Amino acid sequence: MTGATADAAPLLQLRGVETFYGKIQALKGIDIDVNSGEIVTLIGANGAGKSTTMMTIFGAPRARRGRVVFDGKDITALPTHLIARLSIAQSPEGRRIFPRMTVFENLQMGASINNFAHFDEDLERVFTLFPRLKERAPQRGGTLSGGEQQMLAIARALMSRPRLLMLDEPSLGLAPLVVKQIFEVIADLNKREGLTVFLVEQNAFHALKLAHRGYVMVNGLVTMQGTGAELLARPEVRAAYLEGGH
């Protein structure tokens, strides 16, 4: 198999994963590796199966064939909440913050996995990363702007001290400046703390610049892979995802 560049086995490994929605096959056998300390991105057009891949890793929907392995443990058949407790955190598509709960309560929900151990410390950390959230702490999540909600979703995910952070389209519907800010935070977390990130993006340019490695997905299949710079240089990628306007 390809991919394994690091010394140890990959942190997250997808092998031949096939996922169905009823009779419709969304993923047609996918192999993806995410090594410890890497930022890996999965890019592709609408409906290519990027979000499905992300959700399949989380067990909803479940892969019908193939295996998902995290840290040497087969998690293919594990219920979602138990997968999350293996310290995989997710900022899901559409952010899915709790709109009627305050920013502070949202963050607390994120910390409930590890029973609020080192809660104050983690809170300080995400407030340093996103100072805006500190200002907004007593405010209802639903009253935040789109960018702030995305920051909250990422911060909530970080509160559990994850070993793998999965982000589904964090740039969706946000102003370029905010996107830049969020991507900088991700790069910074990776560089300083060695956080492993799996990023699903439509914004191919930003994602590939940020990521160490990338996968390109078309119609439920991974068609290309390589380092971020390699993929950015590939004419097919440029034609399909970059020059088409992003």
Partner 1 sequence: MTAAPQSKPLADPDAKAAPSIVPALRNAFAAALVAFGLCFPIISYHAESNINNELVLVSRWPLSLGIAAVVFLFFFFRQVSPPDWRVWFDRVGAVAAGGMGGALAESAAEGEGTAAPSKARTRFSEWFGPFALGVVILFPLIMLGLLGPNGSLKWINNYGIQIMIYVMLGWGLNIVVGLAGLLDLGYVAFYAVGAYSYALLSTTLGLSFWICLPLAGILAAMWGVILGFPVLRLRGDYLAIVTLAFGEIIRLVLINWVDFTNGYAGISGIPHVTFFGIPFNDEDNGFSAIFHLPFSPIYRTIFLFYLILALALLTNFITLRLRRLPIGRAWEALREDEIACRSLGINTTNTKLTAFALGAMFGGFAGSFFAVRQGFVSPESFTFMESATILAIVVLGGMGSQLGVAIAAAVMIGAPELMRELDWMKKIFGEDFDPTQYRMLLFGAAMVVMMIWKPRGLVSTRSPSIFLKERKAVSGDLVKEGHG
Q: How far apart are CA 32 and CA 98, in angstroms?
A: 31
Nearer to partner 1, 156 or 206 (CB): 156
Taking only Cα atoms into account, the Rg of the chain, rounded to an integer number of angstroms, comes to 17
DSSP 172: T
Among 4, 112, 118, 188, binds partner 1 (CB under 8 A): 112
Least distance (Å) from partner 1 to the CB of residue 80? 4
Phi, psi angle pair for 236, to nearest 5°: -60, -40
108 binds partner 1 (CB under 8 A): yes
145 binds partner 1 (CB under 8 A): no
Q: How far apart are CA 215 and CA 230, in angstroms?
A: 11
Question: What b/e readout covers 89-103, taking b as 16+ CB neighbours within 10 angstroms?
Answer: bbbbbebebeeeebb
Nearer to partner 1, 113 or 222 (CB): 113
Region 43-72 residues binding partner 1, contact defined as CB under 8 A: 58, 60
Among 6, 101, 187, 221, binds partner 1 (CB under 8 A): 101
Residue range at the interface with partner 1 (CB under 8 A); choices 3-11, 25-33, 139-147, 206-214:
139-147
Q: How far apart are CA 158 and CA 194, in angstroms?
A: 13
Q: How far apart are CA 228 and CA 184, in angstroms?
A: 16
96 binds partner 1 (CB under 8 A): yes
Least distance (Å) from partner 1 to the CB of residue 89? 8
H-state helical runs in 34-175: 50-57, 80-85, 103-111, 119-129, 131-135, 146-158
Region 186-245 residues binding partner 1, contact defined as CB under 8 A: none
142 binds partner 1 (CB under 8 A): yes
Give me the residues that bind partner 1 (CB under 8 A), please: 58, 60, 79-82, 84-85, 89-90, 92, 96-102, 104-105, 108-110, 112-113, 137-140, 142-143, 156, 160
